[in-house]
Structure 1
Amino acid sequence: MVALALLAGALAAAPAYAAIAQSFVPPAANPSSTSTNYVGKNNGTIHNSPKVTGKAFDRFIQIWLENTDFATAASSPTFQKLAQEGLLLDGYYGLTHPSEPNYAVAGLGDFFGMHGDSFSAFPKNTSSVVDLLDAKNISWASYQIRYSIYPLLAIPYALTAASTDSLSISAPPDYVRKHSPLILTDSVAGVPERALRHRNFNDFAVDLNASALPQWMFVTPNLVDDAHDSTIDFTSSWLEYWLVPLLQNQNFNDNRTLILLTFDEAETYTQPNQVFTLLLGGALPQQLVGQKDPSYYTHCSTLSTVQANWGLGSLGRCDTNKTLANVFEFVANATGYKNNGLTSNSTKLPMTNLTGVFPGYANTEMWTPVLAPNVSAVGAGGGSVFVYPGTNTSLTSWSPQNLTAMGVTNPISIDPGYDYSNGSLVTAAAAPSSSSSKTATGSIAAATGKSAATSFAVPAMGVLVAAAGVAALL
């Protein structure tokens, strides 16, 4: 009955989206060409460290689409064609609703109780997959269609122009900050050499033509191309324009490239959050092309798979959760990692369509500081848990507080004011995004009678361990 009540609460929060019915219009002749429709200052070609060889692949590209039920994507001829060229992961699930917490998981390994799409800025010692990649000199970048790092990084929307790369819409803006998982933490947004690896699609074309694409990539289309504000047919047309030809481009897809095409979440909250997900690319073993893998995967698997491939450390969050973080099976086989044996047909899979019921730094009504990591956790890469120097590793528990009732602004909503408009970091005076005069952790500590750490530690697996412990409705 508790699970039913939690699910009912999640359903009440389910948003409604209006689909745009226009036809896709390509912004350029091909994806290797620049376009005047991609507004924003360009970064120029990035410079990468020498290639680090992985056990199963040398480049990992994630392409995330939006809010689509498994059956809807499966009905598209484009997705059917791509499935014949790749491996269908038909046991792959999003972790919660709505969109932003799923993106947070892909970059940070947890959603910290997040159950909305509002502005979020995690403290600077909140680690991300970037810390693990940088530790092994594995190059990375995040590409968003029209995004530019040069406007204020902290504003919720990086762009406000009405025209998009494919059609005209007046609202909302076609790119949103919440779809860039790494920029959610100040450990990336506040570090220029990291922040400037967030690039638009003109930068992508330049990097592609210069053979300068990095080894780890996160690709975000805009709100119409990704199916958020359009239809599966519209998104299919974008894929035919952008992804399909790139699969034949050696600078994008060589025999050591693995491509993940997925959705952040299912559209229907009553369903178990299964999303249509494909593995593509030259690194995929030939015997798997056109096949299905029923193994149970989640967005946590994107982290564990990368860790296993390159022998990385871990974040000590869902990437080390043995239930949620199965490594993609062919990579597990190549690295010797043992998965848990769960499949899409297993009974009592975790409920990953719940929202608003887990405490954490991003839940204002059930707020906790960012708790310390489980430093004894062992991830798929076998390395140690990454912990920022000075992290209070004894901060492992906290009684959730209702900051709204206390009249306190959640620190996650405070704009850190990072400005790259002149090509280097300028930090403006931080301004709270609500009218409350109580904004910082000191106010929270005073209100609760507890001693809050001034530098929050990175979290353990808390929220997603709890999610994994909620039994499925059977």
Structure 2
Amino acid sequence: MARVFDHVLIIMFENEYRSYVMANPYMRWLAGQGIDMANYHGAMHPSQTNYIASAAGQLCGVTSDDDPRAAGSGAVLDAKCIVDLMQPAEGAAPISWKAYMENYVGELTWVAQPPYYTKHNPFYMFDSVQSDPARVARIVDAKQLLRDIAAGEMPNYAWLTPNIWNDGHYLRGTKFAPNIRYLLVNQIADWLEHELFGPAGLNFPGPESKLPANTLVVVTFDEADYESVPGGSSYEGPNQIYTVLLGDLDAIVPGTVIREGYNHYSLLRTIEDNFGLGTLGTNDAASGPMRFLRGEHFSWSNPANLAPPHVGDDGTYVPLATTTGIVLGTYSDRAYMVSQGDGTDAAAYWNSFDGARWTDQQALTSVGTISGPMAMAGTRSALTLVYFDAGGVLSFVTYTDASGWGTPAAVPGANASVAPVALASFADEQELLLVFHTAAGLASMTYADGAWSRPTAIVAANVSQVMPGSSLALAELGNLLLLVYVD
């Protein structure tokens, strides 16, 4: 796969909601100079978790802004990070990289005093970096960035962390963050416009930019705003942050707004895919890259018939039965469809789609006759179909690449009414949630490691008022599961 960009420069600022940043005239103008990522989110709270997530594709068990070595054995993180992909311990490095830290102290030690804070240096955290002098040497002061560019030595991957004032964490010259957030946003904008992007800096964006050709610049924040409250502290609202993609790439058209959801894991995956690095096998592997940079955009195709249809009892082809129901689920990079015949043909049929062709439709003989609604969803390990069998019992059957369709069984303890059901995967595609009707209302069960949980009544506000037999739809959105029903 050809590279879309030859260099990437990531600049990470601190602790602001997207709306606060967009209220600043310069930051709003800057968003209009490239691709405004209008639905981009941080990975977690607090700050340090987002820096670690950006490098490792996971939180690595870190939940605070404290030195990771302060807990447990005192060791730094032993997880893999993007450095392990960019600069392998053995063999030729596929790409070059450097981390530019403003006011860097020159050594990998924990610093929590202005102007440099180690918690904003994601590469400090990992043993695979700290234990390798060649990797440590690639963490340098931010002043080196302009020197490297002038010498024609800008790395393929460049990370820039401004100091604790220029990144908007504290008011300049203090250790204080005011509740009036525009003061910090203005501070960020002033540094970005007049120093880093100014004529004496990168002279960017524009035709006279000092950056090498085909460079992607990512201006982003670690997380959304932090608010103190009496008796403790909390984070309010969604973790939505300002992020803009800039540069001379063909795909970067000024004024473009992307409203699909992305986050730090998506950015990591985009960089991995662009440079052919593979993945770390963590959340980056399950995240979608920014395909629009390759000119790929989601759109509905023209309708097409599914072929071939199934064969009836008389040996002739008959149209795909759709009167009673069709369900679709994904597993192991394929889409699977189970359809139920109508009228005299209430048997189950299945086929799959690899993105280009549908397989021949086959009878799902182990299931036999279906007497009610169905639902289907996949996890990393299996595809699961939930349905009502010929006797009206809520049942399930699983499919794996290794074993095909298994033996159906009743969903234990469900006592479900023959009515619509909903099924969705969650927990990083490792578990399933099933929602179904009972005589008392809606109930749910989870399925993980081959076992169902006990049924749990859904007693949220107004759910007890659900219309009997209401259609149900269930989907995962970030760390939420959304249930849609008719009250």
Decide whether the 8 Å contact of 2:77 with 2:127 is kept in 1.
Answer: yes
Q: Larger helix proportion, structure 1 or 2?
A: 1
Greater relative CO (CA pairs within 8 A, separation 6+) = 1
- Find the counterpart in structure 1 of residue 213 from structure 2: 255
- Find the counterpart in structure 1 of residue 259 from structure 2: 294
Task: Give distance in 1, aligned partners of 2:251 and 2:16.
Answer: 28
Alignment pair present for 1:211 and 2:168: no
Change in CA separation of 1:127 and 1:263 when aligned onto 2, cut-off 3 Å: same
Task: Give distance in 2, aligned partners of 1:312 and 1:144.
Answer: 24
- Find the counterpart in structure 2 of residue 89 from structure 1: 37
Decide whether the 8 Å contact of 2:94 with 2:277 is kept in 1.
Answer: no
Q: Which amino acid aligns with 1:295?
A: E
Which residue, 220, 224, 238 being the options, matches 1:266?
A: 224
- Find the counterpart in structure 2 of residue 279 from structure 1: 245
Alignment pair present for 1:470 and 2:470: no
Change in CA separation of 1:156 and 1:463 when aligned onto 2, cut-off 3 Å: farther
Which residue, 282, 288, 291 being the options, matches 1:329?
A: 291
After TM superposition, give the deviation of residue 318 of structure 1 in Å.
0.8
Alignment pair present for 1:140 and 2:93: no
Structure 1 residue runs of 4+, over 6 Å off?
Answer: 338-341, 461-469
Decide whether the 8 Å contact of 2:251 with 2:293 is kept in 1.
Answer: no
- Find the counterpart in structure 2 of residue 236 from structure 1: 189
Query: How many residues of Structure 1 are paired with residues of Structure 2 in the alignment?
Result: 283
Cα deviation per residue 1:24-78 (whole Å; 9 max; x = unaligned)? xxxxxxxxxxxxxxxxxxxxxxxxxxxxx95210001100000011111000111
Question: Tell me, what secondary structure is at the counterpart of 1:154?
Answer: coil
Decide whether the 8 Å contact of 1:63 with 1:260 is kept in 2.
Answer: yes
Alignment pair present for 1:173 and 2:124: no
- Find the counterpart in structure 2 of residue 128 from structure 1: 81
After TM superposition, give the deviation of residue 284 of structure 1 in Å.
4.9
Decide whether the 8 Å contact of 2:3 with 2:275 is kept in 1.
Answer: yes
Change in CA separation of 1:331 and 1:134 when aligned onto 2, cut-off 3 Å: farther
Cα deviation per residue 1:139-161 (whole Å; 9 max; x = unaligned)? 000001110333xx13234xxxx
Can you give the 5+ residue segments of structure 2 that lack an aligned partner in the other structure? Answer: 70-74, 172-183, 227-234, 301-331, 334-425, 432-475
- Find the counterpart in structure 1 of residue 62 from structure 2: 114
Decide whether the 8 Å contact of 1:260 with 1:277 is kept in 2.
Answer: yes
Which residue, 98, 101, 106 being the options, matches 1:149?
A: 106
Q: Which amino acid aligns with 1:116?
A: S
Question: Tell me, what secondary structure is at the counterpart of 2:87?
Answer: helix
Cα deviation per residue 1:213-269 (whole Å; 9 max; x = unaligned)? 101011000111111113111111000123333125877534310011000000042
Decide whether the 8 Å contact of 1:140 with 1:215 is kept in 2.
Answer: yes
Change in CA separation of 1:144 and 1:202 when aligned onto 2, cut-off 3 Å: same
Task: Give distance in 2, aligned partners of 1:111 and 1:208.
Answer: 32
Change in CA separation of 1:156 and 1:339 when aligned onto 2, cut-off 3 Å: farther
After TM superposition, give the deviation of residue 197 of structure 1 in Å.
0.6
Instruction: State the TM-score, normalized to the length of structure 2.
Output: 0.53
Question: Tell me, what secondary structure is at the counterpart of 1:85?
Answer: coil
Q: Which amino acid aligns with 1:279?
A: L
Task: Give distance in 1, aligned partners of 2:270 and 2:221.
Answer: 18
Change in CA separation of 1:194 and 1:319 when aligned onto 2, cut-off 3 Å: same
Q: Larger strand proportion, structure 1 or 2?
A: 2
Can you give the 5+ residue segments of structure 1 that lack an aligned partner in the other structure? Answer: 1-52, 158-171, 342-376, 379-460
From the CA coordinates, give the structure whose radius of gyration is larger: 2
Task: Give distance in 1, aligned partners of 2:294 and 2:78.
Answer: 30
Instruction: State the TM-score, normalized to the length of structure 1.
Output: 0.55
After TM superposition, give the deviation of residue 134 of structure 1 in Å.
2.2
Task: Kindly report which structure 2 residues correspond to 1:20-419, keeping only aligned pairs within 5 A, or say none.
Answer: 55-121=3-69, 123=76, 125-135=78-88, 136-150=93-107, 153-157=108-112, 172-230=113-171, 231-245=184-198, 246=202, 247=204, 248=206, 252-268=210-226, 269-286=235-252, 288-321=253-286, 325-333=287-295
Q: Percent of counterpart pairs with the same letter?
A: 30
Task: Give distance in 2, aligned partners of 1:261 and 1:250.
Answer: 19
